[in-house]
Amino acid sequence: GPTTGVVVKPRPKTKKPAMYKVLMLNDDYTPMEFVVHVLERFFQKNRDEATRIMMHVHRRGVGVCGVYTYEVAETKVTQVMDLARQNQHPLQCTIEKE
Ligand code: NFA
């Protein structure tokens, strides 16, 4: 008949954003209580979970604070490093693609 149309192939349209781990590194100087505070304030961890992550980093050298989209992960790293610097602690965070 007269009807024409563009043939489209049904395809799953949405794709998940790339996700990034925020990693925290151990050092010899940052107080344990400051690290716990950072995990509560910026990563929404309760006291027990924050303490567990802090002790993991302390013993193993590195640990995951959380997993976020790139922009959120970058913002967390900046916030942590700014607060650490303000308090003269050498605490370091970094990002790793999942
Ligand atoms: N290792 C630090 C200390 O003994 C504590 C710490 C834990 C630092 C996790 C950085 C990350 N005071």
Nearest-angstrom CA–CA distance, 74 and 46: 22
**pLDDT exceeds cutoff 70 at 44:** yes
What does the alpha-carbon distance between residue 53 and residue 58 come to, in Å, rounded to a whole number? 9
Judge contact between 73 and 22, C-beta under 8 A: yes
> Max CA-CA distance within the chain?
79
**Would you state the torsion angle of the CA atoms of residues 71, 77, 80, 84, taken in this order, to the nearest 10 degrees?**
-140
pLDDT for res 8: 79
- Percent of the chain past pLDDT 90, that is, above it, reads 87
Give the ligand 1 atom nearest the CA of 24: 11
CA of 67 to the centre of ligand 1 (A): 21
CA 12–ligand 1 middle distance (angstroms): 45
Tell me the pLDDT of the chain averaged across its residues. Answer: 95
Residue 3 pLDDT? 62
- Using most ligand atoms within 8 A of CB, pick from 23, 35, 94 the residue to mutate for ligand 1: 35
Strand partners, 35: none
pLDDT in tens, 6-19: 887 888 889 999 99
Residue 1 has pLDDT above 60, yes or no: no
